[in-house]
Chains A and B, each alone.
Chain A
């Protein structure tokens, strides 16, 4: 009797393994979450993308629920999602851009041209739609590192108190918005 149960053990373990493997087929192993979830926005003091005299800090963002969208003109997926994000803005969602410049490297930093970048951003936004209230320029990607950003596009949902509620890697589309962001927003307004 004992032997019989023992003999079935490998089979049972295998069945269990198959269940996990099957589920794994429909997951995305590359989707990542920042370690900052549930914490408040890290402090920063960064210039506006369009005006280096204007500086933004995390305190100025308090009091309103907003999306922080990490993007760059070098990133095709970011451009692709601009349209949908603009729609969201029209629905009254506050979106703040965190401009992630990939080409800037302090080791070779001599050939970076901020004016060319501004022009490029302007053309891009006028063509594809401008979802942003304003853009924060994170040239050295320090806020990006503090937020656990690994690339673009990525989007954070932040509440009135500055707590990071959601982190989404990849583009935002209708499906993502409905399944991921709307439920979180609904929880905020009971």
Chain B
């Protein structure tokens, strides 16, 4: 063992002696990223037994089993997507709150876009038609500004 390691060990021991009563985390991860991955996964995976809950806040046995499995998989170094795929392999798409992209579900993304495009198209079409008969120029604009200014002056004088 290198001397540096020994020193580190001693330091850790000393530290843990002085703050002996620091609380232990329920799930320990190697780094913050993995902890974050775990947190995200428990929020996005669905408890298959429950009414409509993710595995983070369900007390069902199966939710706890899934949670423990997620911990193990993340600790082994699996990525978020790998854990999701692992769960989908077993529990089907139902287990993930993000729907898969299939010909049947594509409507979820396409329809909103279509409506936005149609809506924009409609208003462009409508306002062109609606403003066709109106001839408005920069001169008119100026005149309008003047009138407004005049009106405001009058108001102020009153």
Q: Does chain A touch chain B in the assembled complex, meaning CB atoms less than 8 Å apart?
A: yes
Query: Closest CB-CB distance, A52 to chain B, in whole Å?
Result: 22
**B90–A33 CB distance below 8 A:** no
User: Which residue on chain B has the smallest CB distance to residue A37?
Assistant: B92
Please report whether the interface of chain A is mostly helix, strand, loop or mixed according to DSSP. Answer: loop
**A35–B65 CB distance below 8 A:** no
Question: A residues within 8 A CB of B91?
Answer: 32, 34-35, 148, 150
Q: Which of A32-68 contact B (CB under 8 A)?
A: 32-36
Query: Closest CB-CB distance, B74 to chain A, in whole Å?
Result: 16
User: Which residue on chain A has the smallest CB distance to residue B66?
Assistant: A145
Given contacts A32-B48, A32-B94, A145-B69, contact A151 B89 (CB under 8 A): no
Question: B residues within 8 A CB of A148?
Answer: 48, 90-92
**B65–A141 CB distance below 8 A:** yes
**A34–B90 CB distance below 8 A:** yes
Question: A residues within 8 A CB of B47?
Answer: 150
**A150–B92 CB distance below 8 A:** no
Question: Is B88's beta carbon under 8 Å from chain A?
Answer: yes
Question: A residues within 8 A CB of B90?
Answer: 34-36, 145-148
Question: A residues within 8 A CB of B95?
Answer: 35
**B49–A150 CB distance below 8 A:** yes
Question: Is A102's beta carbon under 8 Å from chain B?
Answer: yes
Question: A residues within 8 A CB of B69?
Answer: 145
Please report whether the interface of chain B is mostly helix, strand, loop or mixed according to DSSP. Answer: helix
Interface size class of A (residues with CB under 8 A): 10 to 19
**B61–A102 CB distance below 8 A:** yes
Q: Which of A109-155 contact B (CB under 8 A)?
A: 141, 144-151
Question: Is A161's beta carbon under 8 Å from chain B?
Answer: no
Question: Is B62's beta carbon under 8 Å from chain A?
Answer: yes
Question: B residues within 8 A CB of A147?
Answer: 90
Question: A residues within 8 A CB of B66?
Answer: 145
Question: Is B64's beta carbon under 8 Å from chain A?
Answer: yes
User: Which residue on chain A has the smallest CB distance to residue B85?
Assistant: A35
Interface-central residue, B48, B61, B89, B95, by most chain A CB under 10 Å: B61
**B92–A32 CB distance below 8 A:** yes
Given contacts A145-B69, A150-B48, contact A105 B92 (CB under 8 A): no
Q: Which of B78-100 contact A (CB under 8 A)?
A: 88-95
Given contacts A102-B61, A141-B65, A145-B69, contact A151 B49 (CB under 8 A): yes
User: Which residues of chain A have a CB within 8 Å of any CB of chain B?
Assistant: 32-36, 102, 105-106, 141, 144-151
12 A-B residue contacts at CB 8 Å? A32-B91, A32-B94, A33-B92, A35-B90, A35-B91, A102-B61, A141-B61, A144-B65, A145-B90, A150-B47, A150-B62, A151-B49
